[in-house]
Amino acid sequence: MVTLCKPAVSVPEHVITMEETLDLARKHHAGHPQLPLALRLIGNTGVAKRHIVQPIGKTLEHPGFQERNELYEAEAKARVPAVVEEALRNAGLRAADVDMIVYVSCTGFMMPSLTAWLINSMGFPSHTRQLPIAQLGCAAGGAAINRAHDFCTAYPDANVLIVACEFCSLCYQPTDLGVGSLLSNGLFGDAVAAAVVRGRGGTGIALERNNSHLVPDTEDWIAYSVRETGFHFLLDKRVPTTMEPLAPALREIAGAHGWDAGDLDFYIIHAGGPRILDDLSRFLEVPPDAFRFSRATLTEYGNIASAVVLDAVRRLFEEGDQQEGARGILAGFGPGITAEMCLGRWTTPAHPAEPPLSARRIVGYSPRFQHARSKT
């Protein structure tokens, strides 16, 4: 049974409130002809506060892409290990028990990926598979869960660590003055999240089915323009309407599993904005409170990109009243327009957690090959 264990989530210490965001927009864009519209859109996001890796004064500066990317790397190395350690504890595992690391991030670039640094720095086996995902944006949190599910289905003794590292504030571009850019400046926040998917054992969401869906001809609705100054986020005004074509995809995956997408026990949905949640509530015919975990993430942290789904899962765990076998759906949405979806049931093993597996095992290698190696 492939199980998604309790995620760990950390947000930076610098906070900007909605009131401060609106005041900054009025100050920096006083002559903008569409400022009233931008202020109204930002105010309607439902975001009360966001956390960022630098004080707001430093965030509003643009020292250049190189310096920003260097800061991304430094902050990732400073903040990710503690979150990883907590996620491993939540799963009852050690670094030596991990067979693959899926690292998702769309707000900075490193090659080799942070996965290589984690393996060298935190005691992961040298044969740990590395799967960095950089171009699925907010959908990457769902994609990471799905790829971990696939891997553990193929190798039932495997364990996969998922890490989402998003410093959206490092993508702020002071020269981008479109309404979509102004809205993004008031919506996105920073966070690091991690979770373990266990092939055997563990308490959490037992993953049963996953799927992807691409809405045709929407590649330019959410995108990056990569320039000398870094990543320029492009957000089309049609994005909030995407739940109409995506809701049937959610119904389809649930129906293929014999479930009704409108009659589940929990919903973990990427909180891109309140309209997405409101529309999906209407199209699936579920009460607004069904998306309370996603709404709480949006309110307290803003849109934290690929980390949203993991934070919403954390909130599901912390609510603490899920019944054995409770059915749910997880979905992340992002560029493409892409949906990454999976179905699962809440599970609490009746027997004690299995002891950590030997650090010497190499999941995916044939016994014959391992036996031959032992003789050499």
Q: Which residues are CB-neighbours of 181 under 8 A, at least 6 positions away?
A: 173, 232, 233, 235
Are 140 and 334 in contact by the 8 Å Cβ rule? The answer is yes
Is residue 5 part of the annotated active site? The answer reads no
Catalytic member of 5, 106, 138, 165 = 138
The 10 Å Cβ neighbour count of residue 330 is 27
Q: DSSP of 206-265, one letter per residue?
A: EEEEEEEEEEEEETTTEEEEEETTEEEEEE-TTGGGTHHHHHHHHHHHHHHTT--TTS-S
**183-199 burial by CB neighbour count: b if 16+ within 10 A, else e?**
bbbbbbbbbbbbbbbbb
Amino acid at 217: D
Alpha-carbon distance of 267 to 288, in angstroms, equals 11
Residue with tokens 């996105």: 188
Q: Taking each helix axis as running N to C, give the angle between helix 65-91 and helix 114-122, from 0 to 180 degrees, rounded to the nearest 10.
A: 50
Alpha-carbon distance of 290 to 44, in angstroms, equals 20
Pairing state of beta strands 129-133 and 100-104?
Answer: parallel
**CA 42 from centroid of its chain's CA atoms:** 22
Nearest to 1 by CA among 344, 285, 373, 352: 344
Instruction: Tell me the two tokens of residue 357.
Output: 């597996």
Quote the strand ranges of the chain, DSSP E. Answer: 3-4, 8-10, 14-17, 49-52, 100-104, 129-133, 159-167, 190-198, 204-218, 222-227, 230-235, 266-269, 327-334, 336-347
Looking at the annotation, which residues are catalytic? Answer: 138
